[in-house]
Amino acid sequence: MASGYIEHKIAYDATGSQDLSTTAYKFHTLQAPSDTSITKYFGEMPSGGIRLSHIEIVLDNNGTSAGGNTIGIGASGPILSYDSNATQICQGPPQGTNAITLAPSSGSNGEEGCVLEFGTVITFPPTATLGTLYLGLKLAVAGSGDTAQCVLARLHWHTIAR
């Protein structure tokens, strides 16, 4: 059984980073890590029979103390899509009416995070790029301090026996 992860990893305010808001989803590309010292331990994500285990999400408030951001549930919850326009959704949004409260990191580096479990089995449609998914994030509540950005999203997967 193969396993691995795909990720979005970017520094705060780096080229390609996006400010999160409460009004619209921002999509983050999840792909195999570019560091070959990591990816040598797992193969490429296959086209089908993939169980999505869990995702780690870390937001950064540009080094200011954790700002009290929350990620939405229900209509504003995180989604995974096979395409960047979210026309082919493969997971989410989680159901409910409360927001996901993010846990602040120790210290005052401004990072907050959470882990969401899935357990969904997916197969890539023919029009999708194998090994690439898109994470849509939208804040339920924008915290204080600088604007939050997603600096890390790591989706763990494994294949199921056929």
Model confidence pLDDT, tens digit, residues 26-39: 999 999 888 777 76
Given this model, what pLDDT does residue 68 score? 64
Q: Which domain holds residue 130?
A: 3-159
Given this model, what pLDDT does residue 140 score? 75
**Domain total for the chain?**
1
Strands, DSSP E only, in 37-148? Answer: 50-60, 70-71, 79-81, 89-91, 100-101, 103-104, 111-122, 133-137, 139-141
- The whole-angstrom separation of Cα 83 and Cα 90 is 10
Q: Which two tokens stand for residue 61?
A: 């408030």
Given this model, what pLDDT does residue 72 score? 64
Given this model, what pLDDT does residue 109 score? 66
Positions of the chain with pLDDT under 50: 66
Given this model, what pLDDT does residue 134 score? 96
CATH of the domain at 134: 2.60.120
pTM for this prediction? 0.87
- The whole-angstrom separation of Cα 113 and Cα 155 is 14
13 CB-near residues (< 8 Å, 6+ apart):
62, 149
- The whole-angstrom separation of Cα 134 and Cα 132 is 7
Given this model, what pLDDT does residue 124 score? 95
User: At residue 55, what are phi and psi to the nearest 5 degrees?
Assistant: -130, 135
